[in-house]
Structure 1
Amino acid sequence: MEIKSFLLPKDKVSYLTTSASMKEAMERLEACHYTAIPIIDEEGKYVGTLSEGDLLWKLKCTPGLSFVNMDEVSVTNIRKRIYNECVAIDAHMEDMLALAADQNFVPVVDKDRVFLGIIRRKDIIEYYTRNITD
Protein backbone atom coordinates (compact mmCIF):
# COMPACT_ATOMS: atom_id res chain seq x y z
CA MET A 1 0.00 0.00 0.00
CA GLU A 2 1.17 3.53 -0.75
CA ILE A 3 0.96 6.64 1.41
CA LYS A 4 -1.18 8.43 -1.18
CA SER A 5 -4.02 5.97 -0.59
CA PHE A 6 -4.55 7.61 2.83
CA LEU A 7 -4.08 11.20 1.64
CA LEU A 8 -6.74 13.78 2.38
CA PRO A 9 -5.83 16.28 -0.35
CA LYS A 10 -5.01 19.92 0.31
CA ASP A 11 -8.28 21.13 -1.27
CA LYS A 12 -10.19 19.23 1.45
CA VAL A 13 -7.97 20.32 4.35
CA SER A 14 -8.19 23.51 6.38
CA TYR A 15 -4.81 25.17 6.68
CA LEU A 16 -3.30 28.56 7.37
CA THR A 17 -0.78 30.59 5.44
CA THR A 18 2.12 32.38 7.08
CA SER A 19 0.32 35.67 6.43
CA ALA A 20 -2.61 34.69 8.68
CA SER A 21 -3.23 36.44 11.97
CA MET A 22 -3.88 34.88 15.33
CA LYS A 23 -7.53 35.91 15.03
CA GLU A 24 -7.82 34.16 11.65
CA ALA A 25 -6.22 31.07 13.16
CA MET A 26 -8.73 30.96 15.99
CA GLU A 27 -11.63 31.44 13.60
CA ARG A 28 -10.37 28.73 11.25
CA LEU A 29 -9.83 26.25 14.09
CA GLU A 30 -13.31 26.96 15.39
CA ALA A 31 -14.89 26.55 11.95
CA CYS A 32 -13.16 23.29 11.06
CA HIS A 33 -13.20 21.80 14.58
CA TYR A 34 -9.48 20.96 14.42
CA THR A 35 -7.25 21.06 17.49
CA ALA A 36 -4.22 21.80 15.30
CA ILE A 37 -3.81 23.12 11.78
CA PRO A 38 -1.02 23.02 9.17
CA ILE A 39 0.72 26.24 8.14
CA ILE A 40 2.10 26.75 4.63
CA ASP A 41 4.16 29.60 3.21
CA GLU A 42 3.59 31.75 0.11
CA GLU A 43 5.18 29.06 -2.07
CA GLY A 44 2.81 26.40 -0.71
CA LYS A 45 5.49 24.70 1.39
CA TYR A 46 4.71 23.16 4.75
CA VAL A 47 6.32 25.15 7.57
CA GLY A 48 4.66 23.79 10.70
CA THR A 49 1.51 23.19 12.67
CA LEU A 50 -0.31 25.56 14.99
CA SER A 51 -2.27 24.09 17.89
CA GLU A 52 -4.99 25.43 20.16
CA GLY A 53 -2.47 25.20 22.98
CA ASP A 54 -0.04 27.44 21.09
CA LEU A 55 -2.77 30.08 20.81
CA LEU A 56 -3.69 29.82 24.48
CA TRP A 57 -0.06 30.13 25.61
CA LYS A 58 0.45 33.15 23.36
CA LEU A 59 -2.67 34.81 24.80
CA LYS A 60 -1.62 34.01 28.38
CA CYS A 61 2.03 35.07 28.03
CA THR A 62 1.60 38.31 26.04
CA PRO A 63 0.73 41.32 28.19
CA GLY A 64 -2.01 43.44 26.62
CA LEU A 65 -3.03 40.76 24.12
CA SER A 66 -6.75 40.05 24.04
CA PHE A 67 -9.45 38.89 21.66
CA VAL A 68 -9.79 42.51 20.57
CA ASN A 69 -6.27 42.96 19.20
CA MET A 70 -5.12 39.47 18.29
CA ASP A 71 -5.62 40.29 14.60
CA GLU A 72 -2.33 42.22 14.99
CA VAL A 73 -0.35 39.05 15.79
CA SER A 74 0.93 36.94 12.89
CA VAL A 75 0.88 33.17 13.22
CA THR A 76 4.61 33.31 12.49
CA ASN A 77 5.05 35.14 15.81
CA ILE A 78 3.41 32.39 17.83
CA ARG A 79 5.73 29.82 19.38
CA LYS A 80 4.92 26.31 18.22
CA ARG A 81 5.36 23.93 21.13
CA ILE A 82 5.23 20.80 18.97
CA TYR A 83 6.52 20.36 15.45
CA ASN A 84 4.46 17.89 13.43
CA GLU A 85 6.92 16.12 11.17
CA CYS A 86 5.87 15.78 7.57
CA VAL A 87 6.35 12.82 5.27
CA ALA A 88 7.14 12.73 1.58
CA ILE A 89 4.43 11.34 -0.68
CA ASP A 90 6.83 8.67 -1.93
CA ALA A 91 8.10 7.61 1.53
CA HIS A 92 7.66 4.12 2.92
CA MET A 93 4.47 3.31 4.82
CA GLU A 94 6.55 2.53 7.92
CA ASP A 95 7.84 6.12 7.97
CA MET A 96 4.31 7.52 7.88
CA LEU A 97 3.00 5.05 10.47
CA ALA A 98 5.81 5.91 12.88
CA LEU A 99 4.83 9.60 12.69
CA ALA A 100 1.11 8.87 12.95
CA ALA A 101 1.71 7.07 16.24
CA ASP A 102 2.69 10.40 17.81
CA GLN A 103 0.66 12.92 15.77
CA ASN A 104 -3.09 13.28 15.14
CA PHE A 105 -2.24 13.91 11.51
CA VAL A 106 0.81 13.68 9.29
CA PRO A 107 1.38 16.48 6.78
CA VAL A 108 2.32 15.12 3.34
CA VAL A 109 4.67 16.98 1.01
CA ASP A 110 6.25 16.48 -2.40
CA LYS A 111 10.00 16.39 -3.08
CA ASP A 112 10.13 20.21 -2.91
CA ARG A 113 8.29 20.23 0.44
CA VAL A 114 5.10 21.59 -1.16
CA PHE A 115 2.10 20.73 1.00
CA LEU A 116 -0.14 18.09 -0.64
CA GLY A 117 -2.51 17.31 2.22
CA ILE A 118 -2.65 15.28 5.41
CA ILE A 119 -3.05 11.73 6.60
CA ARG A 120 -5.27 11.50 9.64
CA ARG A 121 -4.45 8.94 12.30
CA LYS A 122 -8.19 8.27 12.53
CA ASP A 123 -8.28 7.12 8.88
CA ILE A 124 -5.32 4.78 9.40
CA ILE A 125 -6.94 3.18 12.44
CA GLU A 126 -10.27 2.81 10.62
CA TYR A 127 -8.55 1.19 7.62
CA TYR A 128 -6.67 -1.35 9.73
CA THR A 129 -9.73 -2.05 11.87
CA ARG A 130 -11.79 -2.85 8.76
CA ASN A 131 -9.07 -5.04 7.29
CA ILE A 132 -7.98 -7.06 10.29
CA THR A 133 -8.93 -10.69 9.97
CA ASP A 134 -8.62 -13.31 12.67
Structure 2
Amino acid sequence: MRAKDIMSSPVHTVSQTAPVEAAAALMTAKSVTALPVVDDDGRLVGMVSESDLLWHRVPSDPTAQLRPRPDTDPADRPGMVMEVMATYPLATRPDMDVADVAEAMLEHDVRSLPVLDDGAVVGIVSRRDILRAMVRTDAALAAEVQHRLDEYSDGGSRWTVAVEAGVVTVTGDYDDETEQAVVMVLARTVPGVAAVRTGQPSAS
Protein backbone atom coordinates (compact mmCIF):
# COMPACT_ATOMS: atom_id res chain seq x y z
CA MET A 1 0.00 0.00 0.00
CA ARG A 2 1.36 3.40 -1.03
CA ALA A 3 0.88 6.95 0.24
CA LYS A 4 -1.22 7.76 -2.84
CA ASP A 5 -3.71 5.05 -1.83
CA ILE A 6 -4.67 6.72 1.45
CA MET A 7 -3.71 10.39 1.09
CA SER A 8 -6.31 13.14 1.20
CA SER A 9 -6.55 15.08 -2.06
CA PRO A 10 -7.01 17.84 -3.09
CA VAL A 11 -5.06 19.46 -0.29
CA HIS A 12 -6.00 22.53 1.71
CA THR A 13 -2.94 24.78 1.71
CA VAL A 14 -2.20 28.24 3.04
CA SER A 15 0.07 30.99 1.74
CA GLN A 16 3.15 31.87 3.74
CA THR A 17 2.02 35.50 3.74
CA ALA A 18 -1.51 34.74 4.96
CA PRO A 19 -2.58 36.11 8.33
CA VAL A 20 -2.40 33.68 11.23
CA GLU A 21 -6.14 34.18 11.77
CA ALA A 22 -6.87 33.09 8.19
CA ALA A 23 -4.92 29.86 8.70
CA ALA A 24 -6.77 29.21 11.95
CA ALA A 25 -10.12 29.79 10.25
CA LEU A 26 -9.22 27.39 7.43
CA MET A 27 -8.16 24.68 9.88
CA THR A 28 -11.41 25.07 11.78
CA ALA A 29 -13.57 25.06 8.65
CA LYS A 30 -11.88 21.99 7.15
CA SER A 31 -11.41 20.10 10.45
CA VAL A 32 -7.66 19.59 9.95
CA THR A 33 -4.83 19.91 12.44
CA ALA A 34 -2.08 21.09 10.08
CA LEU A 35 -1.71 22.81 6.72
CA PRO A 36 1.05 22.75 4.12
CA VAL A 37 2.39 26.26 3.56
CA VAL A 38 3.17 27.27 -0.02
CA ASP A 39 4.88 30.18 -1.74
CA ASP A 40 3.53 32.22 -4.65
CA ASP A 41 4.49 29.44 -7.07
CA GLY A 42 2.62 26.79 -5.06
CA ARG A 43 5.82 25.17 -3.80
CA LEU A 44 5.98 23.73 -0.30
CA VAL A 45 7.91 25.97 2.08
CA GLY A 46 6.61 24.88 5.48
CA MET A 47 3.96 23.28 7.64
CA VAL A 48 1.79 25.05 10.17
CA SER A 49 -0.06 23.21 12.93
CA GLU A 50 -2.63 24.10 15.55
CA SER A 51 0.09 24.42 18.17
CA ASP A 52 2.04 26.81 15.93
CA LEU A 53 -1.00 29.05 15.59
CA LEU A 54 -1.73 29.00 19.31
CA TRP A 55 1.76 30.20 20.16
CA HIS A 56 1.54 33.76 21.57
CA ARG A 57 -2.23 33.70 21.02
CA VAL A 58 -3.63 32.18 24.21
CA PRO A 59 -4.00 34.83 26.94
CA SER A 60 -1.92 34.34 30.03
CA ASP A 61 -3.42 33.81 33.46
CA PRO A 62 -4.94 37.14 34.55
CA THR A 63 -2.75 37.16 37.65
CA ALA A 64 0.28 37.06 35.40
CA GLN A 65 -0.72 40.44 34.00
CA LEU A 66 0.53 41.92 37.24
CA ARG A 67 3.99 41.09 35.90
CA PRO A 68 3.87 42.32 32.29
CA ARG A 69 6.04 40.35 29.87
CA PRO A 70 7.18 41.68 26.49
CA ASP A 71 6.18 38.48 24.71
CA THR A 72 2.54 38.92 25.74
CA ASP A 73 2.20 42.34 24.10
CA PRO A 74 -0.34 41.96 21.27
CA ALA A 75 1.82 44.24 19.13
CA ASP A 76 4.63 41.69 19.33
CA ARG A 77 2.55 38.72 18.28
CA PRO A 78 3.36 37.08 14.93
CA GLY A 79 0.94 38.20 12.24
CA MET A 80 1.77 36.01 9.24
CA VAL A 81 1.96 32.27 8.79
CA MET A 82 5.63 32.45 7.76
CA GLU A 83 6.46 33.72 11.26
CA VAL A 84 5.09 30.65 13.03
CA MET A 85 5.39 27.81 10.51
CA ALA A 86 7.90 24.98 10.68
CA THR A 87 10.40 25.40 7.84
CA TYR A 88 12.08 22.58 5.90
CA PRO A 89 9.04 20.32 6.42
CA LEU A 90 9.24 16.58 6.15
CA ALA A 91 7.41 15.29 3.06
CA THR A 92 6.81 12.05 1.22
CA ARG A 93 6.15 10.79 -2.31
CA PRO A 94 2.99 9.23 -3.78
CA ASP A 95 4.74 5.86 -4.23
CA MET A 96 6.18 5.70 -0.71
CA ASP A 97 5.15 2.60 1.23
CA VAL A 98 2.69 3.48 4.00
CA ALA A 99 4.82 1.58 6.53
CA ASP A 100 7.73 3.93 5.74
CA VAL A 101 5.44 6.95 5.99
CA ALA A 102 4.25 5.84 9.44
CA GLU A 103 7.83 5.23 10.57
CA ALA A 104 8.86 8.73 9.45
CA MET A 105 5.93 10.27 11.32
CA LEU A 106 6.83 8.49 14.54
CA GLU A 107 10.56 9.15 14.21
CA HIS A 108 10.06 12.88 13.65
CA ASP A 109 6.99 13.22 15.90
CA VAL A 110 4.72 14.74 13.26
CA ARG A 111 1.03 14.05 12.75
CA SER A 112 0.82 14.55 8.99
CA LEU A 113 3.06 14.56 5.92
CA PRO A 114 2.46 16.45 2.68
CA VAL A 115 2.80 14.33 -0.45
CA LEU A 116 4.91 15.87 -3.22
CA ASP A 117 4.98 14.96 -6.90
CA ASP A 118 7.62 16.84 -8.90
CA GLY A 119 7.68 19.48 -6.17
CA ALA A 120 3.93 20.10 -6.18
CA VAL A 121 1.72 19.29 -3.19
CA VAL A 122 -0.69 16.61 -4.43
CA GLY A 123 -1.94 15.20 -1.14
CA ILE A 124 -1.44 14.86 2.58
CA VAL A 125 -1.28 11.79 4.80
CA SER A 126 -2.21 11.97 8.48
CA ARG A 127 -1.89 9.44 11.26
CA ARG A 128 -5.67 9.15 11.13
CA ASP A 129 -5.51 8.19 7.44
CA ILE A 130 -3.06 5.40 8.26
CA LEU A 131 -5.13 4.14 11.17
CA ARG A 132 -8.31 4.20 9.08
CA ALA A 133 -6.65 2.06 6.42
CA MET A 134 -5.25 -0.38 8.97
CA VAL A 135 -8.46 -1.12 10.85
CA ARG A 136 -10.53 -2.42 7.91
CA THR A 137 -12.01 -5.85 8.48
CA ASP A 138 -10.78 -8.93 6.63
CA ALA A 139 -14.22 -9.32 5.05
CA ALA A 140 -14.11 -5.75 3.67
CA LEU A 141 -10.61 -6.29 2.31
CA ALA A 142 -11.57 -9.59 0.67
CA ALA A 143 -14.61 -8.02 -0.99
CA GLU A 144 -12.62 -5.11 -2.43
CA VAL A 145 -9.72 -7.26 -3.65
CA GLN A 146 -12.17 -9.72 -5.23
CA HIS A 147 -13.96 -6.86 -6.96
CA ARG A 148 -10.73 -5.48 -8.43
CA LEU A 149 -9.59 -8.87 -9.68
CA ASP A 150 -12.99 -9.64 -11.19
CA GLU A 151 -12.91 -6.30 -13.03
CA TYR A 152 -9.41 -7.07 -14.29
CA SER A 153 -10.65 -10.38 -15.69
CA ASP A 154 -13.54 -8.62 -17.48
CA GLY A 155 -16.16 -9.65 -14.96
CA GLY A 156 -15.06 -13.27 -14.66
CA SER A 157 -14.16 -15.05 -11.45
CA ARG A 158 -10.81 -16.52 -12.34
CA TRP A 159 -9.42 -16.11 -8.84
CA THR A 160 -10.74 -16.60 -5.32
CA VAL A 161 -9.68 -14.25 -2.54
CA ALA A 162 -9.36 -15.02 1.15
CA VAL A 163 -8.04 -12.66 3.82
CA GLU A 164 -6.78 -13.39 7.32
CA ALA A 165 -5.29 -10.71 9.58
CA GLY A 166 -4.84 -8.46 6.56
CA VAL A 167 -2.92 -11.06 4.55
CA VAL A 168 -4.51 -11.76 1.16
CA THR A 169 -4.36 -15.22 -0.40
CA VAL A 170 -5.35 -15.44 -4.07
CA THR A 171 -6.02 -18.91 -5.46
CA GLY A 172 -6.45 -19.76 -9.12
CA ASP A 173 -4.42 -20.15 -12.29
CA TYR A 174 -2.26 -17.55 -14.04
CA ASP A 175 -1.30 -17.47 -17.70
CA ASP A 176 2.26 -16.43 -16.89
CA GLU A 177 4.42 -14.64 -14.32
CA THR A 178 3.43 -11.25 -15.71
CA GLU A 179 -0.25 -11.89 -15.01
CA GLN A 180 0.61 -13.16 -11.54
CA ALA A 181 2.56 -9.97 -10.86
CA VAL A 182 -0.38 -7.84 -12.03
CA VAL A 183 -2.75 -9.69 -9.69
CA MET A 184 -0.40 -9.14 -6.76
CA VAL A 185 -0.07 -5.43 -7.53
CA LEU A 186 -3.85 -5.00 -7.80
CA ALA A 187 -4.35 -6.70 -4.43
CA ARG A 188 -1.66 -4.61 -2.76
CA THR A 189 -3.28 -1.36 -3.88
CA VAL A 190 -6.25 -2.01 -1.59
CA PRO A 191 -5.78 0.08 1.59
CA GLY A 192 -5.35 -2.17 4.62
CA VAL A 193 -3.72 -5.11 2.83
CA ALA A 194 -0.61 -6.18 4.72
CA ALA A 195 0.71 -8.80 2.29
CA VAL A 196 -0.34 -10.85 -0.72
CA ARG A 197 0.19 -14.54 -1.41
CA THR A 198 -0.48 -16.31 -4.72
CA GLY A 199 0.03 -19.69 -6.29
CA GLN A 200 2.32 -20.46 -9.19
CA PRO A 201 1.55 -19.69 -12.86
CA SER A 202 0.09 -22.56 -14.86
CA ALA A 203 2.54 -24.72 -16.74
CA SER A 204 2.69 -23.79 -20.41
Sort the TM-score into its range (normalised by shorter chain): 0.7 to 0.9
Give the whole-Å Cα distance in 2 for the aligned partners of 1:78 and 1:21: 11
* Matched residue type, 1:63: D
Contact 1:35 1:51 in 2 (8 A): yes
Unaligned runs of at least 5 residues, structure 1: none
Partner of 1:118: 124
Partner of 2:2: 2
Calculate the aligned-residue CA RMSD, in Å: 2.7
Contact 1:43 1:114 in 2 (8 A): no
Alignment CA distance shift 1:114-1:62 (3 Å): farther
* Matched residue type, 1:106: L
Give the whole-Å Cα distance in 2 for the aligned partners of 1:3 and 1:120: 10
Partner of 1:109: 116
Partner of 1:64: 74
The answer to which structure, 1 or 2, has the higher relative contact order (CA under 8 A, 6+ apart) is 1
Identical residues among aligned pairs (%): 27
Give the whole-Å Cα distance in 2 for the aligned partners of 1:83 and 1:131: 37
Unaligned runs of at least 5 residues, structure 2: 59-70, 139-163, 166-204
Structure with higher Rg: it is: 2
Deviates more, 1:55-64 or 1:29-38: 55-64
Alignment CA distance shift 1:130-1:114 (3 Å): same
Partner of 1:44: 42
Q: Alpha-carbon deviations, 1:40-60, whole Å to 9, x = none?
A: 122212222112221222336
Contact 1:58 1:79 in 2 (8 A): no
The total of aligned residue pairs comes to 126
| Partner residue of 1:85 out of 78, 90, 102 | 90
Contact 1:87 1:95 in 2 (8 A): no
* Matched residue type, 1:116: V
